[in-house]
Amino acid sequence: MQESKRPRPSSGGGVGWLVALLFAATWALAWPVHAAPGGLPTNVAHTDTSPEWENLRQRLFASRRIDTDSGKVQLIVPLRAAYGASVPVKIVSKLPQTAELYVRKMYVLVDKNPSPVAAVLDLTPELGQADFETRLRVDEYSHVRVVSELSDGSLHMDSRYVKTSGGCSAPPNRDALHLIGRTVFKLPEPVKMNAVTTADVTVLHPNDTGFELNNQTVMFIPPHFVRSIKVSYDQRKLFDAELDFSVSENPTFRFNFVPHAQGELSAEVEDSKDGRFSGRLSVQ
């Protein structure tokens, strides 16, 4: 995953503070919103392409065919999101996870984000059903896409156009930095043995993008975000998620698993500063 780099203002007493302030003001005016000629686009179709998507497609999938009409995956995202730093995203797979055919990988993409590859999920049949919910940062009007790769090698995509902005520059909540890395599981519904069961995993983390200004120092907050979450049940892999800062602060994933007996949900987490964390939950 590529991280977008931007020059940072340097500090140097009162002069440094003034330079930083001027830099921030200039940046706010100069950083493009990438609007279409004549204003922001209003009639973009959910299925449209974009130059950013064409570049991503070539980089990630080369010349492989991507089916956009199979209906094997559905992406649910609001057309207008109230807060660009926390856009709810739901991915619904239209087939169960079986040994014969299952979703083995998912790519979650935001075309116009500074880092457009928000997440790459490596999945197993242990999920039972490859449905996911999370929240993303969306920096400007953009398509959000999910590409689902099945175990037979076929690729299937759904996309939605989202109207929101500012997701990568909105300052995160910095009131509980001492809790960074705390990893928590939650079961929103009773456990169903030998059946698909829903669970949540949350990592408390600011997921700093490097594009946020500290309101006190008027300096850019260095990037610091969750890089990976590896989730298993009873020592059997459910999914591995490779992430970037396009996932919202306090990254949360709602997922499924099929418990065949009492066991333990576990998560191993790593962030971009080599911080390593873990979480556990006993399932009975």
Q: Which residues are CB-neighbours of 29 under 8 A, at least 6 positions away? A: none
CA angle 219, 220, 221 (to 5 degrees): 115
Range of lowest pLDDT (63-72, 210-219, 224-233, 236-245): 210-219
What pLDDT digit, counting tens, does each position of 49-101 carry? 999 999 999 999 999 999 999 999 999 999 999 899 999 999 999 999 999 99
Compute the distance between CA of residue 248 and CA of residue 277 in angstroms, rounded to an integer.
Answer: 18
Beta strands in the chain, from DSSP E residues, in sequence order = 66-67, 73-76, 87-93, 103-110, 117-123, 132-136, 142-150, 155-162, 183-186, 197-203, 226-233, 236-243, 252-257, 263-271, 276-283
Which pTM value belongs to this model?
A: 0.83
Q: Which residue did the predictor score with more confidence, 59 or 37?
A: 59
Compute the distance between CA of residue 247 and CA of residue 252 in angstroms, rounded to an integer.
Answer: 9
Give the pLDDT score at 35: 36
Tell me if 275 sits within 8 A of 182, measured CB to CB. Answer: no
Compute the distance between CA of residue 104 and CA of residue 256 in angstroms, rounded to an integer.
Answer: 14
